[in-house]
Structure 1
């Protein structure tokens, strides 16, 4: 059985490669990298690296040759070629090369989501379904690491600010999302078509309380409106383009887009998620 990891040089992909090597031999693993420079680091680990880009259909056909099961890590939006077009290339190439299974990293709630971030994922889920390739949609909630700037600053005594109100998020460590993905990829667990991978939803106030315990530091927790939060971010040097993205996420959270209650995550891992205080301690140490 030959397994392919896309996004293998990113943080999620790096964790996934670690867990995949625990389950299968390196001779069964292939990894996708966009450049030869990225590929070199993986080849040092004895990994078969295929250099390809989601924007280049021909390169994907070559990269998918001989692949049975694939972890399809969604690309980042904002490229010269739209994410929708990139994902279309991946699905069509997988179909043409007879890939037998796709595990795709999607967005919470799928077609029921009103988040702007969900739209490309909704389209991709439909393309995969229409391809008739057996698949599982990994609807990943929110990585603790996505809050890195806020968490590190607060752990150093700076204010913990947000504008998401009482909205809740199913935060978990990125490595746990990767471990779940690999368990699905290898067939270690029999997965349904859709997995809502979410930690227990909590508010920013609860996240801040857990951070105080994890860090042993006291800091002010400041709930802001969007206008004040935007001004605060800009004052702290955050580029306006990124500020807009942050505010969009805060709005999604306020509107309940990430408040997913599901036990899928623990079922796929075969154990409970790392408790939040312990997860934050691990995050702060890395």
Structure 2
């Protein structure tokens, strides 16, 4: 039996691998599912098994899993193509007879009414229909969705969004990775028990402890950077123009604007406390995330 992490060379996947090693899971008990063997060479050097597979090539997934594996299925990054990709992963996991399939979905699950959530909802149903033991890790927004784009904020002196007074209960990517580690290892307040049996069939609504508004975010950036930063609450049309003008492809820009509309409806503001309970500590604050980026 191995703990298997798909998308292991991505930002979240690498953090999960590091978290497993920090939790003293032997490297030989960890398998990384990756498309590019060269990008994962450093993982292999540490004794982690590489399983080469591509979500878009179903036949490659047949060797990705084995009976008894505990699998973290990190959602694909190709919006619009994820349903067939995820179906291929679920089918391979079912055929292999994995012991657990944990899936990184989106906060709110069926109640998430913005377009970016649609493929996640279909995927959750595919997993339910498969009959596999599962855990749904419904991840909220990452701090990094904002802090990785601080440069234009600092340059123009404005946080631009079309979310109105909506609030976001974000947390760091590392926090979400730690929650996945807790589930995969059977640890965490919510899942104590032999080999993590307490996590099976569970749905975790994962988000930060505090929901913040964009005016508050602008104030945090201003305080920590020493610059004058304001919140520019623009219309959806203006927001779309700003994003496409910055080089974001129009389909993705439209999705991001649609997410902001969801934020305005409160869809990413939930603070269930599940994330803090799983990781056994408070979630990382947005000010800490901004400070880390500004420090370089």
TM-score (normalizing by structure 1): 0.92
Partner SS state of residue 257, structure 1: coil
> Match for 1:251 among 261, 271, 293?
261
Question: Whole-Å Cα distance in 2 between the matches of residues 170 and 135 of structure 1?
Answer: 25
Partner of 1:223: 233
Partner of 2:194: none
Q: 1:18 to 1:149 in 2, by over 3 A?
A: closer
Q: 1:239 to 1:230 in 2, by over 3 A?
A: same
**Offset, 1:156:** 4.6
Question: Whole-Å Cα distance in 2 between the matches of residues 118 and 236 of structure 1?
Answer: 24
Partner of 1:99: 98
**Offset, 1:34:** 0.7
Regions of 4+ moved over 6 Å: none
* Superposition RMSD in Å: 1.9
Question: Whole-Å Cα distance in 2 between the matches of residues 54 and 234 of structure 1?
Answer: 29
Q: Is the 8 A contact 1:197 1:265 kept in 2?
A: yes
Partner of 2:205: 196
Q: Is the 8 A contact 2:143 2:286 kept in 1?
A: no
Partner of 1:7: 7
Partner of 1:145: 144
**Offset, 1:45:** 2.6
Partner of 2:294: 284
Write the mapping of 1:82-231 to structure 2, written as runs, cut at 5 A.
82-148=81-147, 150-156=149-155, 158-189=157-188, 190=191, 191=199, 193-199=202-208, 200-231=210-241
**Offset, 1:254:** 1.6
Question: Whole-Å Cα distance in 2 between the matches of residues 61 and 9 of structure 1?
Answer: 20
**Offset, 1:54:** 1.3
Q: Is the 8 A contact 2:4 2:30 kept in 1?
A: yes
* Unaligned runs of at least 5 residues, structure 1: none
Matched positions, count: 284
Question: Whole-Å Cα distance in 1 between the matches of residues 59 and 181 of structure 2?
Answer: 27
Question: Whole-Å Cα distance in 2 between the matches of residues 222 and 41 of structure 1?
Answer: 43
Greater shift in the superposed pair: 238-247 or 45-54: 238-247
String of CA shifts for 1:236-268, please: whole Å, max 9, x gaps.
444433322221221221222212121101100
Q: Is the 8 A contact 2:221 2:229 kept in 1?
A: no
Q: Is the 8 A contact 2:33 2:53 kept in 1?
A: yes
* Unaligned runs of at least 5 residues, structure 2: 192-198
Q: Is the 8 A contact 2:5 2:72 kept in 1?
A: yes
**Offset, 1:177:** 0.6
Question: Whole-Å Cα distance in 1 between the matches of residues 184 and 92 of structure 2?
Answer: 18
Q: Is the 8 A contact 2:175 2:283 kept in 1?
A: yes
Partner SS state of residue 163, structure 2: coil
Greater shift in the superposed pair: 215-224 or 187-196: 215-224
String of CA shifts for 1:108-127, please: whole Å, max 9, x gaps.
11112212122211111112
Q: Is the 8 A contact 1:214 1:278 kept in 2?
A: no
Partner of 2:195: none
String of CA shifts for 1:161-209, please: whole Å, max 9, x gaps.
1111011111111111111111111111203610000112221112222
**Offset, 1:275:** 2.4
Question: Whole-Å Cα distance in 1 between the matches of residues 294 and 202 of structure 2?
Answer: 34
Partner of 1:36: 37
